[in-house]
Structure 1
Amino acid sequence: MAAAEPRYQHRPYNYKTSQPSPSSTFQILAVVTLFPVDAVLLFLAGLTLAGTLIGLALTTPLFIVFSPILVPAALALAAAVAGFLTAGAFGLTALSSVTWLMNYLREMRRSLPEQLEHARWRVHDAAGHVGQKAREVGHKTQDVIRPSA
């Protein structure tokens, strides 16, 4: 029995005769196109960082001097914002609850005559059934009393 040949044979890669595939050409073009955009964005990020550090260095002494005023003011402002947000949330909850209740009552008012008619029919049907049973019991008692008389 002969040894089976492997299905895929390893062929050495020839760099001189191979041409780049279209996907690698696209990738190279994308890198070359996006490189200047990335460089500009990186420069703007560095410029923003430098401006932030300079501004922080200039305002730090002011924050230290005015901290007895700024900290309570910031706390009061945060409490006021929290209060307004809480009031708004409670108001929206109340409004949605009232809207739901109004829709529920409107739906109940619309279906109430149908429910009353259905209840009236059931009471009438039950009364008829009770009357029928009463007649049957009456006939049975008459049958029991008659033969003995």
Structure 2
Amino acid sequence: MATISDQPRGSYSYGTSYGAPYGTTYETNTSINNPPSRQTVKFITAATIGITLLLLSGLTLTGTVIGLIIATPLLVIFSPILVPAAFVLFLVASGFLFSGGCGVAAIAALSWIYNYVSGNQPAGYDTLDYAKGYLADKARDVKERAKDYGSYAQGREGSRFVCKVAKH
């Protein structure tokens, strides 16, 4: 009994008529599935679309250049008015955007504070509580160190006074 690996590559026979048999070339498959008239129609369609888009891009470029040529003298004549006007418009727009952003930030901050005070748990409340406890601990440490240093400084000041009096 012959196995599949013993048979030559192009000698398989299929009992059905679905598709081309294994081992046929690409040219044979494409000519079976796509007749030459269909390939021609595809090429003509793609070429027509490509040429049309290329012409439209050329017309757009030409129109832009002509518009720029016509507008250049007007821009030069009105530039003493247009440049400051553009600058003022930029400043006004920036001011409105900045004030609006500050207003949104203020509303968000007030909303967060309201939720925190009313007992709701806004985002980041646990970090705030941790920071409060950490700052309280550090303040307590600084207070103790200041008290210790104060008593140490009072002891040194008294001995320094005694030394100064004894030298004179």
Give the alignment's TM-score, normalised by structure 2: 0.45
Give the alignment's TM-score, normalised by structure 1: 0.49
Q: Report 1 or 2 for greater relative contact order, CA contacts < 8 Å, sequence distance ≥ 6.
A: 2
